[in-house]
Structure formats: C-alpha cells, structure tokens
Copies of this chain bind each other. A is one copy, B any other.
Amino acid sequence: MKDACKLTATDAGAAIRNGELTPRVLANACLERIGRREAETGAWEVLDGSRIDEQLAKLEQVPGPERGLLHGIPVGIKDVYDTADLPTAYGSAIYEGHRPAWDAAAVARLRAAGAVILGKTVTTEFAYWKAGKTRNPHDHSRTPGGSSSGSAAAVADFMVPLATGTQTVASTMRPAAFCGIVGFKPTLGRISTAGIKTLAGSLDTVGMFARCVPDVALIGGVMAGRADWVAARAAAMPPVVAFARTPEWDQVSAAGIAVVEDAARMLEAAGATLSTGSAPAAFATLADDQNQVLAFEAARDFSSEWRHHRALVSPQLSELIEEGLLLSPADYETAQAHRLECMAALDGLFGGADILLAPSALGEAPPLAEGTGDPLMSRAWTLLGLPSISLPAGTGPAGLPLGLQLAARPGRDASLLAAAQWIEERLA
C-alpha cells in the first residue's frame, strides 16, 4: 500500500482489519516519512525503534477478536505524558533523561487499545511558552504553535495519524489551527491527567490531534473510555450554531474573522440555524481570570522546580511563576468563584445554540522568532471547561492554514463531535 502514512487512523484501522495493511507496514511507512521530514520539521523528542519492534511483535500475537480499537495505529505522545519505556523530559533541561516509573493513565489506555506508541513529540517547556525545535510543516520559518508543537506538526506532516496533546490555555486549539489539522479538547476532567506533568492543576486538559474528526473521536473515545465518542458520526440534523463577538475578537486578524463569517454563511446555506449575539457582560473578564488561575497555580505546582532548579527554569516560565507568587489567594479565589458563576450561567452564552463558533487563533502561524502564537482565543473556553474542536478552514494572506474553533456545553462531547463532522463535511 503506497503512502500508508497518509491514511487517517480510521482508514488505516479498516485496512488492517480487512488484511490490506499490517501494523508493521504502517509503522514502517510512518518511520520512513519521519526519516525524510524530521530534519526540517523537528517534531520528535524520542524515537526508539527497538521499542516499536517490541510493540509490533506483541500485537502480532493478538488474535483478531481480541484486537483493540487502535490495533496497530501509530500514535505520537506529547513529552509531558509519562511513559515507562521512553524518557520523558517535559521539554525541560531539569528532567533530561528522566525515566518515569509508569505510563500516564491515558497512554496506558492507548496501549490497551492496541496503539503503537511511536515516540515522544516535542513540547514547549512544561507545556508553557518556551518553544522547542519544531517548525511548522507548511512553512519551516513559522511556529507550529504551542505547547503541543511536535504532536501537531507530526500529524500535519503525515508522520503519524494520531497524537496526544494537552490544553491548559490554548495548547491544542492553536497548534491544530496553525498546522491545518483537527484538534479536540474534551470537557475538562473527562480524561485522566494522572501521569501528565502539571502546569496548572485546575486547567490542565488532555487534548489530541488527527487529520479528520472521526479520528479525534476515535482516540478521544479510547482515552476517555467513551464508546459514544468513538461512535459519533456526522449529525443527522444540522446544528444550531452561534457566534458572539467577544472583546477578544478585536485582536483577531481580518482573515481570522473572515473564516468564521464565511463558515457561518456556508453552514447556514447548508441548513444550519445561525444566531449571532453578544456574550453576557460577566463573561468579558474570563480571559483575565484564566490568566490569574494559570499564574497562581503554576507558581504553586512548580514549587519543587522553583526551589531546587531555579536556574534551569526559562525566563518565560519564571515570569509566570513570579506573577503567580505576587497574586493574593483572594485574587485567585475571586477568579475561581467567577469561573464557577459563569459555568452556572452558560445559558446566557449559548442561548439556543448547540455550538459556538470562533476563530481558533488570531491569524496564521507567526514566524518562529515571535514565539508560539497568542492563546487569547481559547482562554475563556478552557477556563469554562467547554469541549472544543479546531477545524482547518481556509488559509490566510500568507497561504497558511487558519482554524475554525467550535465549542459545546460541558459534557456534550459526543454531540460536538457529531456537529463537527457535519461541519467538516460541508467545509471540505
């Protein structure tokens, strides 16, 4: 099979089940692609051929009826997820060569479903701002976005059909948009973060990347133990979609706004009900609240690194920690209380809509020198714990991908996946 590395996970899984493809051929196709592209893209932190061979040999012993939902599908794991068989450095010099004693819970679930853990993908330092070596596969002078840089670039560059990420601010939505692929961040708390290095405990969320919506439904469903996510198919009924120009929209590029407006018009023409409105005033400060929660929690969650290895903490993370250490507990608790109030008032945000639309990022991927891009467009929704998906939607003035961000109410992950697939089919 030619170009097996370009298959979606769903198609590759079907080809494996019907005997047209084997896990070994697929893994080799991915490794060959990596061999050709990695020098420029720089998506991988660790690749260990002998570990891949071990996994393939084990999978070959699994009889057909016992094969899991991801049997033989290669997956890249962001290097903030612990892996018992591969080093895990969290993008930090502090933990160079560190070998965890366990797999992150989400990794163990991927293995149990038959996934082939191909290797560890580059993360920014502790999933915050300091970029790693990864470049945007669409333009090597641009950032892939952060913090799940390597995972997004690897999927976009056809090195692997699936990869895991995290989102504490915008670390799944933004790289998905910049790399022109699908990103999915489920409802806060739906997938275990055990064995994932903490950045800000009450915000950290498991995310994932693929090249189509059914694929994020598949890997997300496996990690969450949700058959209804795996089974999510394009909604039979057009969704009710809405967008409200929040204060953040003022900072979005014209192309970024146009993506949402074009998509809205197109979806309306395809039968979707569209409403526009304004977000309730109480929601206007959520992006600031998110930053306060982030800084306060990072300052405490990195207490060990701050005490024992301060010289090895980047200027970017040091600035966040110092900001957090200056916040009063009362500031933090006010932000958390406001978060809860808004979570209890989502009717005002959604109105009658199922799905909110917004730009995934301010515009196209910026040049590498400017960092990993602004996370503004996901701050509020991450704080609220909303499930969200970024779909590739057109290109900007430089010809680089833009993203359309969708969000649903907490717990409505399966219907978000169904609506996203309906939208994906019409955007295509």
Contact = CB atoms under 8 A, between A and B. Distances in A.
Interface of A: 84, 95, 98, 101-109, 111-112, 189, 191-195, 198, 201-202, 224-226, 228, 297, 300-308, 329, 333, 336-337, 344, 411
A303 B344 contact: no
Contacts of A303: 103, 105-106, 108-109, 112, 192, 194
9 contacts: A103-B307, A105-B300, A105-B301, A108-B307, A191-B300, A192-B201, A192-B300, A194-B198, A224-B329
Contacts of A336: 189
Contacts of A297: 192
B103 A308 contact: yes
A301 B201 contact: no
A164 B377 CA distance: 40
Interface centre among A95, A189, A201, A307, by most chain B C-beta atoms within 10 angstroms, is A307
Would you list the 4 A-B pairs with minimal beta carbon distance, nearest first?
Answer: A108-B303, A105-B303, A108-B304, A103-B304
A72 to B, nearest CB: 18
Contacts of A306: 108
B201 A304 contact: no
A331 to B, nearest CB: 12
Contacts of A106: 303
Nearest to A97: B101
B198 A304 contact: no
A106 B307 CA distance: 11
A303 B195 CA distance: 10
Contacts of A193: 201
Contacts of A192: 198, 201, 297, 300-301, 303
A425 B191 CA distance: 46
Contact of A304 (B195, B302, B337): B195
Nearest to A343: B340
A217 to B, nearest CB: 14
A310 to B, nearest CB: 11
Given A109-B303, A297-B192, A225 B329 contact: yes
Contacts of A202: 189
Contacts of A302: 105, 194
A308 B108 contact: yes
